[in-house]
Amino acid sequence: MTTALRIPDRLEDFVVKAFGDVGRNWLARLPSLVADASSAWQLHVGAPFEPGGNVGWVAPVRRADGSDAALKVSCPAHRNPWEAKGLQHWAGRGAARLFDSDEASQILLLERCVPGTNGDELDVATGNEIVASLLAELHAVDPPADDEFEPLATLVERFRETMWDWFDRFERPVDRGVVAQADELFTSLTSSSTDAVLLHGDLGPGNAVLSERGWLAIDPHPVLGDRAFDVKQVLSLRDLRDAREQVAFFADRLDLDAGRIAGWTFACCVQAALWGRSVGDALTFRKYLDRTEQLSSQRLV
C-alpha cells in the first residue's frame, strides 16, 4: 500500500451505529487487515470505492501479474460465512468471480467490475429486469448438496427470533397483529417450499453491477431454499404503490407464485422495520413499514 487507508463515511457511520464496540474495534483493525491481505496476495491497493457499502470496505487493487481485481474486507459483526463458497459455486455465472479468500478474516479477492455502474442508477423497470435476469441465471446453476450451505429455514428462524425480540424489547411501534402475520408467513412459506436452489439472498439493485462481461451480482448472502425468497430484496427497496404489477412481473419472468413473492416481501419488511427501530433508525423503520402497508392495501397478503 502506498497511501494511508481511507474509510468511507457511510461504512464508518453504519458499523458504529449498528454494531457498537464490535464495529469500532473492527474499524481500528481495518488498516492492518488490508495491509496483511496486500502482503499475502501481493496487491497494490487503491482508494476505496465511494460511497461504498454498509458493512464492507472495498477497493480496486492491482495484482502482481498486472491484472485488476477488487479487495473486500467485511465487518465480523455481519457474519456471512457462505459468501466465498457461494461465489465459488456460481463460478462467474451471473456473479462476480472469486479469485481468493481468507474466510477467517472475511476478506475476499474478487473480479473487478468495470465500469462498475450499479442498478441503483437505473429506472425501476430496467432495474427490475436486470435483477430478474441475474436471479434466473443464478438459480439455473445446479444446486449444491443439501449440507453444503445453510438452509433458508435456519435463516428464517433467526429472523423470527430477532423480530420478536426487537418487538418485545423496544417501545411497541407496530401492532402485534402485524408481527404475528409476518411470523405466520415465515412459518408457512418455509414449510410449504419445494425449492432447493442456491439463493443470492440479498440481490437488490445496488448489488447488480455492470462489468465487461455484462451485469453481475455481488455481495451475496447465500442460503439454500425457495426461489421466491430471492425477490423480496428488490421489492423491499421499491415504492410499492404499484406492488401488484411489480410482483406480477417477477412472477411471470421467473415462473414463480405471486403470493409467495408477496408473502416473503411482507414478512421480511416487518423484520427489517423492527431492526431499524432497534438501532434508532426512524427512516429505515418507516420505509419498510410503508412497504408492508402497500402490500396489505392491495390485498397481496
Q: So which residues are the catalytic ones?
A: 202
124-137 residues labelled b (16+ CB within 10 A) or e (exposed)? eeebbbbbbbbbeb
How does strand 98-102 pair with strand 68-74?
Answer: unpaired
Cell output for 151: 438452509
Cα separation, 112 vs 152, in Å, equals: 29
Sign of CA dihedral 69, 205, 263, 141: negative
Q: Is 5 exposed, middle or buried (0-12, 13-18, 19+ CB in 10 A)?
A: middle
What pairs with residue 289 in β-bridges?
none
Contact 41, 18 (CB under 8 A): no
List Cβ neighbours of 12 (8 Å cut-off, separation of 6 or more). Answer: 27
Cα separation, 279 vs 10, in Å, equals: 16
Element (H, E) at 71: strand 68-74
CA torsion, points 242, 243, 248, 250, in degrees to nearest 10? 110
